[in-house]
Amino acid sequence: MAWTAVSGAGSNGANEDLVVVRVHGGTTDILVLDGATSVAGRGYVDADGGDVAWFVHAFAAALEPHLDAYTPQDAAVAAAVDAVGAGYARLGAAAAAPPHAWPIAALTWIRIQQDQARLFCLGDCKTLLRLADGTVRDLDPWINPQEAVLQRVLAALPADPAERKARLLPLLRARREEQNLAAAPSVLCLRPAGPFAARRIVLQLAPGACLLGMTDGFYRLADPYAMYTPAALFDACLARGLDAMLAELRAAERGGGAAGLSVKAADDASAVLWSAAPTISHNPKEHAWTTQAARP
C-alpha cells in the first residue's frame, strides 16, 4: 500500500483545503476536506488564517481520537463536530457570528480495511476508482443542485470583479445560512440541527485498485475546464504525479482560459492518490499521519 498527496492555496492566499492520511494497524483513513470560502467579510475566531481554515484543521484534530477500527464513521464525525462546536462557542464566536458566517466544508472520508473501502461523503469532493485494467469509476457522482443556479447567475453578471462580487454576495450568504440551518445538513457544519445527510459507499477493492480523492478545485482539470476526462485525469496523475498536475492547473488558470467558469479564478486544490500496490512509482510516501501544507 502506498499514497501521495498535494494541496495548494488558490487566489485568496489562505489554503482552506486539508488532506490527512492516517495508517494504523490494518486501517487506512483518508480525509479530504474542502472548506467553503467565507462570505462573512471578517473572521470571528481567526482574523489571520481565517475561520474556514481554523474549522477544517480543528475538525481533523478533533476526529483523530475517534479514528479507530471500531467507531462508525457517522458517530466519529458527530463527536468531532460536537467538540469543534464547543470550541467555537468558547471563543465567543457562536453568539457573535450570524449563521451565514459559520464555517462549513465538504468532506470525503475514505476508510480502507483489507480489501474493503467505506466512503462517508458530505459536499462536492470527488473520488475516482481505477481498476487494474484501466477502467475508471466515479464512486460518488453527486451533483451539487446549487451549481446550475450559480452558473446561470455567473453567466448574467458583468465582467467587473467588484460588481460581480456585490451581486453574488447576497445569494451566497442566503445559501450559506440555509446550509448551516438545514435539518439534515449535506455539508460538514459546526452546529448541525440533525444527523448529517451523508452519502455512504461501500466497495470491495480488487487487486491493483487505485483511488484518487480530490477537492473540486483540483477536479477543475476535468470539470469545468474539460482539460481531461476523469479517466485521463487519473492516468495523468499516475504517470506524472500530483505536483505536476497541480502546476498544470495553475498554469491554465493564470493563462485565463478558464475565466468566467467559476466564482474564484483559482480555488484551493488538493488531491490524494492511494494504491493497493506497495509503491507509487513517481512519488512514494512513508505511511504516517500527515497533513499536506499549502504551497506559497
- The pLDDT tens digits for 129-177 are 999 999 999 999 988 777 777 777 777 777 777 787 788 889 899 999 9
Residue 259 confidence class, pLDDT cut points 50, 70, 90:
low
Q: Which CATH number fits domain 2-291: 3.30.110.30, 3.40.50.720, 3.40.30.10, 3.60.40.10?
A: 3.60.40.10
Contact in structure between 120 and 108 (CB atoms under 8 Å): yes
In this structure, how many other beta carbons lie within 10 angstroms of the beta carbon of residue 264? 12
Cα(120)–Cα(32) distance, integer angstroms: 11
Measured in whole angstroms, the distance separating CA 31 from the mean position of its chain's CA atoms is 8
Cα(44)–Cα(56) distance, integer angstroms: 15
- What value does the mean pLDDT take over residues 100-121? 97
235 versus 162: the higher-pLDDT residue is: 235
- Residue 122 sits at φ, ψ, to 5 deg, of -130, 130
Cα(251)–Cα(259) distance, integer angstroms: 13
Q: What is the pLDDT of residue 284?
A: 37
- What value does the mean pLDDT take over residues 271-288? 66
Residue 291 confidence class, pLDDT cut points 50, 70, 90:
very low
Q: Where are the domains of the chain?
A: 2-291
Contact in structure between 217 and 123 (CB atoms under 8 Å): no
- Residue 57 sits at φ, ψ, to 5 deg, of -70, -40
290 versus 116: the higher-pLDDT residue is: 116
Residue 281 confidence class, pLDDT cut points 50, 70, 90:
low
